[in-house]
Amino acid sequence: GGMHDPELDRRGRLASAGDDEAMVQMALALASGNGVLPNPEEAFRLFRSAANSGNFIAQGAVATYHANGVIVSKDLAEAYKWCLLAKDNTIISKHRRLAQPRMLQIIAQTQTFVEKSARPVQLEEGRTKARAYRPGPQRNETVVKSIDERSMEATMKRAENGDAGAEFELFELHALAHI
C-alpha cells in the first residue's frame, strides 16, 4: 500500500548481500514496524548476522534480546558476552557515525542490568565466551522463538507490580523499537 519505501528496498537488497550497516537499519525497521510490517524474529536474525560481522550496534541489540529473553531464551552469560564485544567494538568501530548516543546508552544500560542481575559465575562465563569469540557465521546459533501476546501481557503485569526485570524488559523492547 502507501507504506512502500524505495529506500527500504535498497537496504533490503544490501542487507541480503551481507552489508552489516544495511542489516542493522533493516533490523531496526523490522523491530519497530517502521515502514515495514513488524517482524521481530527476522529483526533478531538480521541483528545477529550483523553482530557476527562485528557491528557493535547489532551486538548491543543481541545482548539486549538475551538479557530480556525476548525472541531467544534469557541467557545472562550470553548477554554479557555481547555487551563486552559491543563495548570493545565501539572503540575500534568504523561504524562510529552510526553510533547514536541512544544506542550506546542502551548498550550501557543492558550491561548494567546484566551485571546487577547475573550471578558471578554467569559473568565469568560471559567473559570467557567473549574472549573465545571469533567473528563470522556461528555454529549452533540460539533458537529464535516468537513473542506472543500472552507473554507480553504477563510482562506488563509483572512490571505494574514493580518487577524491575519486567520493567527493564519493556524499556528495552520500547527502546529497540524507537531507535
Q: How far is CA 92 from the centre of its chain?
A: 20
How confident is the model over 3-23, as pLDDT tens digits? 556 666 776 777 776 788 888
Q: CA-to-CA distance for 85 and 19, rounded, in angstroms?
A: 19
The dihedrals phi and psi of 166, each to the nearest 5 degrees, come to: -70, -40
Question: Measuring CA to CA, which residue among 42, 23, 15 is closest to residue 31?
Answer: 42
How confident is the model over 31-75, as pLDDT tens digits? 888 888 888 889 999 999 999 988 888 999 999 999 988 888 899
Find out whether 81 and 87 touch, Cβ atoms under 8 Å.
Answer: no
* Whether the predicted pLDDT of 1 surpasses 50: no
- Would you state the cell numbers that stand for residue 77, as one nine-digit string? 552469560
pTM: 0.68
For residue 47, how many other CB atoms are within 10 A of its CB? 31
How confident is the model over 133-178, as pLDDT tens digits? 887 765 555 555 555 556 666 767 777 777 666 666 666 665 555 4
Name the range with the highest mean pLDDT among 39-48, 84-93, 95-104, 145-154: 39-48
